[in-house]
A and B are shown apart, each in its own frame.
Chain A
Amino acid sequence: MLNLIRKDFIVMRSSLGLIPLYFVIFSIVLISNTMSAYFLVAVYTAFTTLMMSTGADVKNDNHAFLITMPMNRAQMVKSKYATALLYTGVAAIACYIFYTIVRYVKPSLGMPAYSMGQFLASIGISLVLVSIYLPLFYWLSKKGMAIINMAFMIILIGLTPFMNIGTYLMHKQNVGSINNASVALIGLGVVLLFIASYFFAKYLFNRKDL
């Protein structure tokens, strides 16, 4: 499986430079608004990277090539989910670090501290999106994916205003209204969704002609 993950990086090598660029662009767009859900930068960056990776797979007819090598379809799906997790985790951490540095360097902006809630939300929302996206990827053909990618870009763009309204409403009410129990429950739900998504994607991919 490590080989497959490494393959993703070799293949995307030339475009890997774009990712920090995206990160910076997203950050500039979102950080100016202190009420905004800055943590969405992590979601955007992680998901854009994933779309680059699936895009490369489709463009190169990767699956038909990979399956001729000593691996099975389960491994291909597993590695893709693993890289999605990787992107999510790295993006979430990078986001936190970047935000904290900016806050430290420019106290005049009066940015509130990056909360644990935001950090978890960045991971949670990414995982939910991935859980819906990847089974579609393993089910649809080239043409289908083009449509799906557009649909998800629209969803991503719509996330920012959606989150803005959401966090505004939360601040208007009791900020501490979300207690630990609900967070844990939501977290568990997200993890279960991710795992279920993996098995579903495996099932879909197993039956597909490449």
Chain B
Amino acid sequence: MNAIEVRNISKSYSQFSVDNISLDIKKGYITGLIGPNGAGKSTLIKMMLGIVRPSAGSIRMLGAEMPSEEIAIKQRVGIVSDDCFYYEHLSLKDMKKVIAPFYTKWNETKFNRYMEQFELSPTKKIKELSKGMKIKFALAIALSHEAELLIMDEPTSGLDPVFRRELLDLLADIMQDERNTILFSTHITTDLDRIADYIAFVNRGKLVFNDVKDDVLDRYAIVKGGQDLLDADIRAKFIGLRESSVGFEGLVDDRKQAQELFGSYAVLETPSLEDIMYYTAKGGPIYA
């Protein structure tokens, strides 16, 4: 069962383009959407939400077609975004008064509980809030109308590490109910290293992979060794390679092959998502 189905989505801008991306976001799991800045993650999400119109392709969310059924779909979707376009001069209470009537399943009790939990005062004006508090407010709203799909676009970029950890716990709580799905787009991959179930990696407008996170981390490996181990053929096996006067460090996407190749002459480590993102973005052809 897929919460989101993207088929052959394309969009061209003058500076970059999203190029024929197809991917499925599985229902009941947390999918992390990673990629360097400007890779197309935000554009992809904006197309899912109907903010940007794709030049080609189709999107289905929660079993219905976007944008023809967008009203029904968005009743069941909660959105937390880095660009929080709230009305700056309104208070949180007034902002809620604007938003709540649109949702048929608005749960006032839940909302108040979250406001308390996040320590947000309803009379404060939006322009007085810090970035982190705005995100918390967006989260309180997103979680108060029985949404089954939570789409988060760079929600943690302005947040301190303490709240980021608390957020992950909160998300894990939400995922106790297997009818919920979370799509979490970020370039801070450490957030996803632990709790993400699936990872979709977008680089330069293309989809590099969309796979079970555990499998990705098992498949890739960081290889560290001495200069003398490299030659032209071996260099070609690396996705990205960083050489220095005291050795090399690189990423391969076939751990077993690397183990056979290097044996005990090199150190093999499990990469982090950040490693994979870094080395893929810096060098080598795109793994299609």
Contact = CB atoms under 8 A, between A and B. Distances in A.
A80 to B, nearest CB: 16
A70 B85 contact: no
B53 A68 contact: no
B16 interface: no
B51 A68 contact: yes
A48 B79 CA distance: 34
Contacts of B86: 60, 65
A149 B20 CA distance: 39
B85 A69 contact: no
A67 B97 contact: no
B263 interface: no
A70 B51 contact: no
Interface string B48-75: 0111110000000000000100111111
A87 B24 CA distance: 47
A64 interface: yes
B23 to A, nearest CB: 21
A53 to B, nearest CB: 13
A210 B98 contact: no
A207 B73 CA distance: 20
B265 interface: no
Interface in B119-177: none
Contacts of A70: 70-75, 102-103
Contacts of B49: 67-68
A146 interface: no
B98 A72 contact: no
Given A64-B85, A69-B74, 15 more contacts: A6-B98, A7-B98, A10-B97, A56-B87, A60-B85, A62-B85, A65-B86, A68-B79, A70-B71, A71-B102, A72-B70, A72-B71, A75-B71, A207-B53, A209-B53
B83 interface: yes
A67 B52 CA distance: 10
A205 to B, nearest CB: 11
Contact of A209 (B51, B88, B97, B99): B51
B220 to A, nearest CB: 35
Contacts of A61: 83, 85
Contacts of A11: 87, 90, 98
Contact of A10 (B52, B81, B90): B90
A70 B99 CA distance: 10
A14 interface: yes
B89 to A, nearest CB: 7
Given A3-B101, A10-B97, A71 B71 contact: yes
B98 to A, nearest CB: 5
A62 to B, nearest CB: 7
**Which of B53, B67, B83, B87 has the most CB atoms of chain A within a 10 A radius of its CB?**
B87
A69 B51 contact: no
User: How many of chain A's residues touch chain B, expressed as a range?
Assistant: 20 to 34
Interface in A155-210: 207-210
A3 B50 CA distance: 20
Contacts of B89: 14
A152 B70 CA distance: 35
A207 B101 CA distance: 27
A207 B55 CA distance: 10
Nearest to A210: B51
Nearest to B151: A68
Contacts of A209: 51-53
A56 B70 CA distance: 25
Nearest to B97: A10
**Which of B74, B88, B98 has the most CB atoms of chain A within a 10 A radius of its CB?**
B98
A69 B102 contact: yes
Return the 10 tightest CB-CB contacts between A and B, nearest first.
A65-B85, A70-B74, A61-B85, A209-B52, A70-B75, A3-B101, A68-B79, A210-B51, A7-B98, A69-B102
Contacts of B90: 10-11
B191 interface: no
Contacts of A71: 71, 74, 102
B210 to A, nearest CB: 24
B71 A67 contact: no
Contacts of B83: 61, 64
A66 B21 CA distance: 26
B197 interface: no
A67 B53 contact: no
Contacts of A64: 51, 83, 85
Nearest to B49: A68
Interface string A1-26: 00100110011001000000000000
